[in-house]
Amino acid sequence: MNPKLAIVAMTTKNSPDSTLNDEARQRLLDELKAQNITKRDLSRNILVGETTVGAILSGKQSPTLENFVLILDQLGLHATWVLHGQGEKYRRKPSSTGLKPIDADQVRARTGVENWLLDTDVDTTADERSWLRVFAWPDAQKSYASNVYMIGLAMYRYAKGNADSAKALLRRALSE
């Protein structure tokens, strides 16, 4: 199968080619071992659940196109090599540690809270960004999105015991 078609098939439900074949999965597993990367490390660096990564690598679940690209990027591999064992193996030489953090803000679609996270001057941790992303922010809040996100972030910080930071965010949200 054409490598481009194979990647497109991953995003098509019920496609016979929507899961990685045994050889492709084995190439990924071998590369993880060669780079001394665990499934847990991979899942943390690409911000995908460990169960999902395990299911993809075991063939129980089809990777989304985004997940497949994140895995390839993390390992520095060419899709053609992974899918068909042909062509150049590496897009870049693997790092000495085998891992490089993925900037999830750059790979996700820039909508709603993603825009705010990229454009705001409010410092946020990875946990705070993940927490903000779980909400389905209502369209009615678009005109006051920055305030709504700051209030949501303040709630998280307060729940985590950082009351001073939460109060400062609330004051800022109410003053804008």
Task: List the Cα angle 136/137/143 in 5-degree steps.
Answer: 165
Are the CB atoms for 129 and 118 separated by under 8 Å?
Answer: no
- pLDDT for res 31: 93
Which of 67, 152, 140 lies closest to 104 in space, CA to CA?
A: 67
> Which of 9 and 80 is assigned the larger pLDDT?
80
pLDDT number for residue 92: 64
Helix extents (H) in 11-93: 22-34, 39-46, 50-58, 65-75, 79-84
Contact 48, 67 (CB under 8 A): yes
The pLDDT tens digits of the residues spanning 68-107 come to 888 888 888 888 888 888 888 887 665 544 555 555 544 4
DSSP 151: H
Average pLDDT over residues 148-167: 86
* Predicted confidence (pLDDT) per residue in 98-145, tens digit: 555 555 544 444 456 767 777 777 888 877 777 776 655 555 455 567
Between the alpha carbon of residue 157 and those of residues 44, 119, 136, 146, the distances in Å are 22, 20, 19, 16
pLDDT at 140: 44
pTM above threshold 0.85:
no
Residue 95 phi, psi dihedral angles, 5° rounding: -70, 165
The domain locations on the chain are 3-84, 104-175
Question: Does 165 have pLDDT greater than 70?
Answer: yes
Class for the domain spanning 3-84: mainly alpha
Q: What are phi and psi of 99, to 5 degrees?
A: -125, 145
Length of the chain measured in residues = 176
pLDDT digits (tens, 9 = 90+) for 16-33: 445 688 999 999 999 999
Alpha-carbon gap, residue 55 to 62, rounded angstroms: 8
Q: What is the pLDDT of residue 160?
A: 85
Distance CA 67, CA 42 (A): 11
Whole-number Å distance between alpha carbons of 134 and 141:
16
State pLDDT tens for residues 30-61: 999 999 999 988 888 888 888 889 999 998 98
3-state secondary structure of 77: strand
Phi and psi based region of residue 76 (left: phi greater than 0; alpha: psi -120 to 50; beta: remaining): left
